[in-house]
Structure 1
Amino acid sequence: MRICVVGAGAIGGLLAAKLHQAGEAVSVIARGPHLAAIKANGLTLIEDNGQEIVSRIHATDRIAEAGKQDLVILGMKAHQVAAIVGDLKHLYDHDTVVLTAQNGIPWWYFFKQEGPHANTVLQSVDPGGTVGKNLPIDRVIASVVYPAAEIIAPGTIKHIEGNRFSLSEIDNSETSRIKAISETFKQAGFKAPVVSDIRAELWTKLWGNLSFNPVSALTHATLEDLCRYPLTRALVADMMREAQSVGEALGIRFRIPIEKRIAGGEAVGKHKTSMLQDIEAGRAVEADALIGSVIELGRLMDVPTPHLDTAYALVKLLSQTIINQNGQLRITSA
């Protein structure tokens, strides 16, 4: 299968390396020192068992150079998609599909869905509808990303834990193409079930992202530490309750209790969330997809979200301050 990973960061790089090792024809779109390192030395993946794999993968910063693909994986953060979506047409063959691998509420959430909100554009994740206008909805398939990984040096990805990518058509239909992609992922060593209710699964993952990420970014605490500190554990639970109220107003059934979801985050250990990694690296954070989108949905469904509102305001200002100052914020040992 011809596969192009657009955005070969932590998760995109993990996918690219594993799929390449499984024999797929993989190319990656990257930039800056990360791209230079991949071109010079290959893409290095340090697996969760410590094994190091180096993949010599075609890498470029120009989407048009990658050629026609069977599968395009969008591996960048949600707020980065609009900038590149117009160029994706260079990758399309007749049956090319585009897998969205972003955290948070996706831009397509109300597409291919019946009800009063069908085809509603969420401004928090797709301002002006740019992505929806430029990415044909019939090409899109969904994923829920569970692995944790980090870029520990340019060209080097460290897999922390987890290997599940839940896959689905966005209308939950069972098609030959989703089965083929599931099998391709499984051959690369991932758990890749085709799920029957992708939106419910999105909310289960988002439950953790919308609470753990901003609290981690604001406190510089790891998952284990913020879950074990009573005050932040209580705050995380309050944020999850608000999100659950929003999700349930949209017809979502939450299958596990809040305490079990928090325990799952705690079990990951001393892992820095992606939002904290971004703060330390001086990158813009995914606040809109992870928190702003739920706040927008809360407004749509007339559900109050005071704890989420507060966390969103704080982490957005922190991110803006770091970007405006061209700085980084990291706690180091004295």
Structure 2
Amino acid sequence: MELPEKARICIVGAGAIGGLLGVELSRRGHHVSFFARGAHLAAMRKNDALQLIRLDGTVVTSAEGSKFIGKLEEAGEQDLVVLGLKMHQIKAVLPTLHHIIGPNTVLLGTQNGIPWWYFQEYSGPEEFKDRTVESADPGGVLKDGIDAKKLIATVVYPAAVVSSPGVIKHVEGIRFPVGEPNGQTTDRVQWVSNMLIDAGFKSPVLNDVRGEMWLKLWGTVAVNPLSALTHATLDVLCTVPAGREVVIRTMTEVEKVANRLGSKMRLPIERRVNGAAKVGKHKTSMLQDVEAGREMEIETIMGAVVEMARVCGEDTPCIDTIYGTIRMLAHVMKEEDAKVCLLPMAG
């Protein structure tokens, strides 16, 4: 398999994380196409660039020659496809995804939560192999529609936001560890790792990418829905005693499920919570979605953990309660076609 030094890369979903990766990769000489829709795409096309505000406040743009597309067939066959969409959004691009995938194309998944391919290329307990993760992939549409053997996973630790159409702001973090779903260290996973490192990120190759997913999910399940429900930023959730207690109880339940599925956490709970607190006044992705009136990633982040708990016979009362509550908020927002924001008191 030929792995080019300068790759043709399509960012399928050039939002916060996809856009961050795409801009930095383009600036290292890779040929990047940014797939997006609506005002964000319009702004990129108008400026013939995607703008990035880096951690140090400097402003850079995607390299000259980058493409900004609203249809995947405009890009052609790629060497690397970065799936930057949220899990529930991928189904919409499946009918045209084949336009950019060739025999040697590598797919890099950046999704939060338990991915649709979790039990494919799986070396955990035999009883779970090749199951469909229904909460992430109802009916196995993604499982059947995407070749798992083409996939490499990354666990996304950086925080970024689309601060305005055509502008990405990098908020925190540079770690994108990568791994093959089967745990092998291959030429292609090393190729992806090297590209990300060259673009300024920390990207070690993992032999247990699922374990790292659980480590990330450990905090995400605890803080994302709670932040959406309370509008508390990470520093508040993880330091105020009432919030910190619920976060720790939730994380304890997540750890039990992960252990049952063959993954061990490499950090103690207290250290993970303290690390989240140090991020400061960051709004989680779910809180950003609530304030913008967007659909939240409830099923892939929380529903999948609830599903996994039922599969392996673990009780998760704290997670179940938060899951039910956040689903009710999503229902009300959809029914009322509304967003939920804190408003300052008058006077």
Write out aligned runs for 1:1-334 (5 A).
Answer: 1-41=7-47, 42-55=49-62, 56=64, 57-114=66-123, 115-334=126-345
- How many residue pairs get matched? 334
SS at match of 1:116: helix
Distance between the aligned counterparts of 1:71 and 1:323, measured in 2? 35
SS at match of 1:251: coil
**AA of the residue aligned to 1:38:** M
How big is the shift at 1:191? Answer: 0.8
Distance between the aligned counterparts of 2:247 and 2:265, measured in 1? 16
The CA deviation string for residues 156-179 of structure 1, in whole angstroms up to 9 with x for no partner, is 111011111010110011111111
SS at match of 1:165: coil
Distance between the aligned counterparts of 1:59 and 1:81, measured in 2? 19
The CA deviation string for residues 237-291 of structure 1, in whole angstroms up to 9 with x for no partner, is 0100110111111121111111111001000000000010011111110111111
Contact 1:3 1:71 in 2 (8 A): yes
SS at match of 2:206: coil
**AA of the residue aligned to 1:223:** L
How big is the shift at 1:318? Answer: 1.1
Contact 1:6 1:12 in 2 (8 A): yes
Percent of counterpart pairs with the same letter? Answer: 45
How big is the shift at 1:58? Answer: 1.0
SS at match of 1:172: coil
Distance between the aligned counterparts of 1:109 and 1:94, measured in 2? 23
Contact 2:235 2:278 in 1 (8 A): yes
Contact 1:216 1:223 in 2 (8 A): yes
Further displaced range: 49-58 or 128-137: 49-58
The CA deviation string for residues 155-212 of structure 1, in whole angstroms up to 9 with x for no partner, is 1111011111010110011111111111111111111111111111110000011011
How big is the shift at 1:326? Answer: 2.1
C-alpha RMSD of the superposition:
1.0
Structure 2 residue runs of 5 or longer lacking an equivalent are 1-6
Question: When the two structures are superposed, what TM-score results if normalisation uses the length of structure 1?
Answer: 0.98
Contact 1:283 1:319 in 2 (8 A): no
Distance between the aligned counterparts of 1:330 and 1:12, measured in 2? 26
The CA deviation string for residues 101-156 of structure 1, in whole angstroms up to 9 with x for no partner, is 00001111111124111100010001000001111111111110010111111111
How big is the shift at 1:324? Answer: 2.8
**AA of the residue aligned to 1:186:** I
Contact 2:15 2:84 in 1 (8 A): yes
Further displaced range: 188-197 or 82-91: 82-91
Distance between the aligned counterparts of 1:84 and 1:233, measured in 2? 39
How big is the shift at 1:325? Answer: 2.2
How big is the shift at 1:85? Answer: 2.2
Further displaced range: 173-182 or 78-87: 78-87
SS at match of 1:138: helix
Question: When the two structures are superposed, what TM-score results if normalisation uses the length of structure 2?
Answer: 0.94
Distance between the aligned counterparts of 1:213 and 1:196, measured in 2? 27
Contact 2:11 2:35 in 1 (8 A): yes
Structure 1 residue runs of 5 or longer lacking an equivalent are none
Contact 2:161 2:168 in 1 (8 A): yes
Contact 2:236 2:243 in 1 (8 A): no
Distance between the aligned counterparts of 1:283 and 1:47, measured in 2? 25
